[in-house]
Structure 1
Amino acid sequence: MQEVRTEDSVGRILCHDLTQIIRGVTKDARFRKGHVVQKEDIPILLSMGKEHLYVWEEDAAMLHEEDAAAILRDLCLNAGMSAGEPKEGKIEIKAEIDGVFYVDRKRFQAVNMLPDMSMATIPQYMPVKKGTKLAGMRIVPLMIEKERMEQVKRVAGKEPLFTLRPYKAMKVGVVTTGSEVAKGLINDGFTPVLAQKLKAFGLAVDAHRISDDGIENTKAAILELLDLGMDMILCTGGMSVDPDDRTPAAIRDSGAEVVSYGAPILPGAMFLVAYMERDDRVIPILGLPGCVMFETATVFDIFLPRILTGERLRREDIVGLGIGGLCMHCRVCHFPVCGFGKE
């Protein structure tokens, strides 16, 4: 790479894209890497503020920014993703399937800590649709030593830094608890809400049981749904601290392992996560607080996509969202494209 005066660059090969910015009109590469500068290009380049240019000069010890960005791309790319062509030194990765985005935070941060590396992603655990942009990456300088990029490879390790987990097909059972519903005093308004939320992932309520507030009856309903082969069970009602709220006890008595009862997330503090192991399967059983029925975004909306990928939640996954776990109740809800539920 060699720096030359723009007026002296005719016939030389550009080392990188040159962006032209006309406010309100365009911001795009006016001249691409590899372009051979022509005499008629000089006035345009000068109008863009380019009084000096970098032109190509072979150096076996150096890599061009696009070649370095391709190395970063290859360290990140995984199944269900695709990458675009380099543009102005940057490469972007997008989703080719619906699913949840995961990034190996420790290794990713280690790469970004190296000088001149720049990789940015969407938030961890973001549910995405096919075509969603996942990340962009580039190096800061125009050229970089090959050995520095070999160091990047060593730090990143052999496994891809990104994972896009697809959703699994699941049979979902719902247990509605509450004597007022069981006795027909009020209608069940919760299950239709769950059906709508599940529909967004191509799922439905496959089996539904109604129980009074008795622990034994709720437990029996849970076990019945397990016998029917449900892959996930959602329990509604009875999740608060009133004397008649006994759903958590029923879930425990069913034999499920309770991972967490209570979450530092609002709305959704009374959220319960448990798992039942049966016939070589692990079935999540969730206790859903009443807010799920009337709030647009809650703890359930945060964790449902992850559960639908087959991820087994840990208590630290739930507690870790205390920072970012407060919904701002914006006038227009943009969840999940917001800070709610993001680390």
Structure 2
Amino acid sequence: MRICYFYGMKTSLKNSYDFPSLLEESSRIHGHLCPGQVLGVRMAIAGLMAVGIDDPKGKDRKNIIVFVEMDRCATDAIQSVTGCSLGKRSMKFLDYGKMAASFLNLKTGKAVRIIAREEARDLAKACFPKESDKYKAQLEAYKVLSDAELFMVMPVTLAVPEEDMPGRPLSRVQCDACREFVQDRREVNIGGRLLCKACASVQHHDETIFFSPAVMHNSHNDMTIRSKIWIDVGGEPVFGRGRRFLLEAIDKHGSIRQAAQEISISYRRAWGYIKSMEDRLGFALVDRHAGGKNGGGASLTENAKQFLKKYRMLEQGIHELVDDRFSRIFGGTENNVSALSCNRSTGMTVPVSEAVGMALAHDITEIRKDEFKGCAFRKGHIVRSDDVEHLRRLGKEKLFVLSIQDDEMHEDEAALLIADALKGEGVSVPGEPKEGKLNLVASRRGLLKINAESLRRFNRLGDVMCATLHGNTVVREGQIIAATRAIPLIVKKTVIEKALQAVHGRPRAVEVLPMRLPKTGIVITGNEVYHGLIADAFGPIMSRKVAELGGSIAGIHYAPDDEAVIEDKLRSLLAQGADLLITTGGMSVDPDDVTRFAIRKLGAKDLTYGSAVLPGAMFLIAYLDGSSGTGSIPILGIPACGMYHKTTIFDIVVPRVLAGERIVRDDLAALGHGGLCLHCAECRYPVCPFGKSS
């Protein structure tokens, strides 16, 4: 006869763990209740109690590490009860496929390993003999069987390496193959090369084949492309990646014996490879020096160095070609190939002496004690011959560089070309590009004009960009008005050719038009002001705004609401040499608002009344032929809002008028988009959306 009893614990920690509540919470997180969940919760409670942890999610949360040996339901339960997780580095996954877990108290060093007993399955059937579903029997039995019946508990000694402890990463190194970074000492040293585990995972004869993310990133679902190249002579392989490692190691150590040790082959085998390569290639690869008081040695011949350099370029090019073709065929149509895959630059590691003329693929830091710590060479820097010794002083015997092909150009060279194509009159490009970026600067005070359609065509290309201030903004000399850059470090020349074509023609994408300095005549209309019943507020405001635009005042005249008088005052100002006329008031539809009729009688043409701007809906603009026939004199009718609002349609339109634009109905209609003033408590115009559209 077998007696089954409900789960209970006789221990000093008996009140610390509420099994039903913990099981309910674990099942909720996991998504369902199953035998594995029950086992996991029971195992976690037993393990925590065995190592003296009574508050794993509170005061003891930094004292516990759990090692799980399965990726099944029980693991979710253990995580739920203990609060340990992979992300916190307090849970470690050992892929052993066993229903077992180890618990370590970091504070005391006490550890146990708990493994589920296989015979517990049979005990479950004995506990619930009438249950035909074995899983339901296990589910209920695992709740009531004792710890001793469910588990074997063994004291163990666990030493956690420093790099596996919770906390900040202890190290971060770059894989010599894929150039991605590896943390916490997970790198592998093969033949003196630091590799990520992905790059070091496949061995073929004496050569390591790298199937890293750098090669496999063009994958489609679970398909990846793998490639290996070697050079044949007479149908027999003579040179590949493994032989390259051998020559690089000889170049590094100046010794065949040390090179053989580095790549883990015998000295005799290394000799055999060298002799075989030299015989088949037809030239010497290694100069051997006889022994003496300084011992013997070996060095690469110039032919070998050039051969190595060409092989590296070939190897990288083949990988790129294969990746690109794989992406095109298996990843979609040719039109769907991403910009990233189309614009990858050719990266490779070369001896520093061979890097002259190539672009650095990353920043290089220099540290001089108590003097300097910072970037000595920026990413993209083209290595010069006089840089070589400096780089060697920094400990750089090899560099990861970008080899620029004939159909490519460096980002800085591209930036100079596109900046020159974007700029029009009144724009300069001072200074040298930095990381492919250049600023466009106003070379004179004036009105910024943006060819929006040309700019859109340019920015649609993707690998180049230009951002500008809003058009129709008054800018000062020396002000940055736009910035452009080539986005990839290495840019295809075809992209730059398309960019130059996109902004070809007139007007250019970015221009600054000169603004003439107006000699302004002002007529203040209205019976109240003319007869002195109220003080003139318009005159001082208009005078100040004209002065801010660099203009002068030819005269300020006052007129009653009388067409003939207003016309006479305007003619008087013309006689005084005014080349810009401004009238104020009399712009509404009241019977005594006659200013616009006086302007028409003056002989003005192209009179446009009303605008899509608030404040400024009753604005008027017209043009009077110049007396000498050399041009037109603009006449502006400013409604009463000009007295009450700091910024109005005057501020939007007048700079354009002074830049020589002839404002017509379509222009005023277009101002409706962005033409609503927000009447901010503190006006910041022109640094605001008023008068600006997309």
| Equivalent residue, structure 2, for 1:297 | 647
| Equivalent residue, structure 1, for 2:495 | 148
* Residue 189 to residue 15, structure 1, CA distance change in 2 (3 Å): same
CA distance in 2, matches of 1:245, 1:19: 73
Structure 1 residues 123-143: Cα deviation after superposition (integer angstroms, max 9, x where no partner):
011101112111101122121
1:264 pairs with one of 605, 609, 612: 612
1:188 and 2:539 are equivalent in the alignment = no
2:554 and 2:576 in contact (8 A); partners too: no
* Residue 247 to residue 236, structure 1, CA distance change in 2 (3 Å): same
1:64 and 1:142 in contact (8 A); partners too: yes
1:86 and 2:464 are equivalent in the alignment = no
1:69 and 1:89 in contact (8 A); partners too: yes
| Equivalent residue, structure 1, for 2:188 | none
| Equivalent residue, structure 2, for 1:135 | 482
1:174 and 1:209 in contact (8 A); partners too: yes
CA distance in 2, matches of 1:19, 1:119: 29
* Residue 125 to residue 17, structure 1, CA distance change in 2 (3 Å): farther
| Equivalent residue, structure 2, for 1:50 | none
CA distance in 2, matches of 1:161, 1:332: 33
Q: Tell me the TM-score normalized by structure 2.
A: 0.44
| Equivalent residue, structure 1, for 2:603 | 255
1:308 pairs with one of 650, 658, 682: 658
CA distance in 2, matches of 1:54, 1:272: 66
What is the deviation of 1:30?
6.7
* Higher-helix-fraction structure: 2
CA distance in 2, matches of 1:254, 1:196: 26
* Residue 323 to residue 158, structure 1, CA distance change in 2 (3 Å): closer
What is the deviation of 1:41?
6.0
CA distance in 2, matches of 1:262, 1:171: 25
* Residue 152 to residue 54, structure 1, CA distance change in 2 (3 Å): farther
* Residue 231 to residue 150, structure 1, CA distance change in 2 (3 Å): same
2:625 pairs with one of 267, 277, 284: 277
What is the deviation of 1:34?
2.8
CA distance in 2, matches of 1:41, 1:235: 72
* Residue 167 to residue 9, structure 1, CA distance change in 2 (3 Å): farther
| Equivalent residue, structure 2, for 1:24 | none
CA distance in 1, matches of 2:447, 2:362: 33
1:171 and 1:204 in contact (8 A); partners too: yes
2:408 pairs with one of 62, 69, 83: 62
| Equivalent residue, structure 1, for 2:35 | none
Structure 1 residues 177-222: Cα deviation after superposition (integer angstroms, max 9, x where no partner):
1111111212211111111111112212211211100112112222
* Residue 58 to residue 111, structure 1, CA distance change in 2 (3 Å): closer
- Could you tell which deviates more after superposition, 107-116 or 134-143? 107-116
Q: Secondary structure at the residue paired with 1:91?
A: strand
1:203 pairs with one of 534, 545, 551: 551
| Equivalent residue, structure 2, for 1:25 | none
CA distance in 2, matches of 1:29, 1:158: 41
What is the deviation of 1:256?
0.7
2:347 and 2:361 in contact (8 A); partners too: no
What is the deviation of 1:254?
1.5
Q: Secondary structure at the residue paired with 1:284?
A: strand
CA distance in 1, matches of 2:585, 2:562: 12
1:99 and 1:167 in contact (8 A); partners too: yes
What is the deviation of 1:239?
1.1
Q: Secondary structure at the residue paired with 1:124?
A: coil
Q: Which stretches in structure 2 are left out of the alignment for 5+ residues?
A: 1-344, 366-373
User: Match of 1:249, as an amino acid?
Assistant: F
| Equivalent residue, structure 2, for 1:3 | 347
Q: Secondary structure at the residue paired with 2:583?
A: strand
Structure with larger Rg? 2
What is the deviation of 1:68?
1.3
2:524 pairs with one of 176, 192, 200: 176
| Equivalent residue, structure 1, for 2:193 | none
CA distance in 1, matches of 2:406, 2:556: 67
Q: Secondary structure at the residue paired with 2:391?
A: coil
CA distance in 2, matches of 1:318, 1:19: 55
* Residue 133 to residue 175, structure 1, CA distance change in 2 (3 Å): same
What is the deviation of 1:17?
7.5
1:2 and 1:54 in contact (8 A); partners too: no
| Equivalent residue, structure 2, for 1:330 | 680
User: Match of 1:38, as an amino acid?
Assistant: L
What is the deviation of 1:101?
0.4
What is the deviation of 1:40?
7.5
| RMSD value, Cα | 2.5
- Could you tell which deviates more after superposition, 152-161 or 228-237? 152-161
2:427 and 2:510 in contact (8 A); partners too: no
Q: Secondary structure at the residue paired with 2:409?
A: strand
CA distance in 2, matches of 1:232, 1:18: 57
Aligned positions, number: 325
* Residue 174 to residue 10, structure 1, CA distance change in 2 (3 Å): same
Query: Which residues of 2 match residues 32-71 of structure 1 at below 5 A?
Result: 32=378, 33-34=381-382, 38=391, 55-71=401-417
| Equivalent residue, structure 1, for 2:131 | none
CA distance in 1, matches of 2:436, 2:499: 17
Structure 1 residues 269-317: Cα deviation after superposition (integer angstroms, max 9, x where no partner):
1111111112222000000011112211110011111112222112211
CA distance in 2, matches of 1:16, 1:291: 59
CA distance in 2, matches of 1:102, 1:303: 14
User: Match of 1:277, as an amino acid?
Assistant: D
What is the deviation of 1:264?
1.0
| Equivalent residue, structure 2, for 1:74 | 420
Q: Secondary structure at the residue paired with 2:675?
A: coil
Which structure has more relative contact order (CA 8 Å, sep 6+)? It is 1
* Residue 4 to residue 200, structure 1, CA distance change in 2 (3 Å): same
1:218 and 1:250 in contact (8 A); partners too: yes
User: Match of 1:253, as an amino acid?
Assistant: K
Q: Which stretches in structure 1 are left out of the alignment for 5+ residues?
A: 21-27, 44-52
- Could you tell which deviates more after superposition, 32-41 or 120-129? 32-41
- Could you tell which deviates more after superposition, 104-113 or 287-296? 104-113
What is the deviation of 1:119?
0.7
Q: Tell me the TM-score normalized by structure 1.
A: 0.86
User: Match of 2:567, as an amino acid?
Assistant: K
| Equivalent residue, structure 2, for 1:242 | 590
User: Match of 1:86, as an amino acid?
Assistant: P
CA distance in 2, matches of 1:263, 1:326: 11
* Residue 292 to residue 41, structure 1, CA distance change in 2 (3 Å): farther
Q: Secondary structure at the residue paired with 1:3?
A: strand
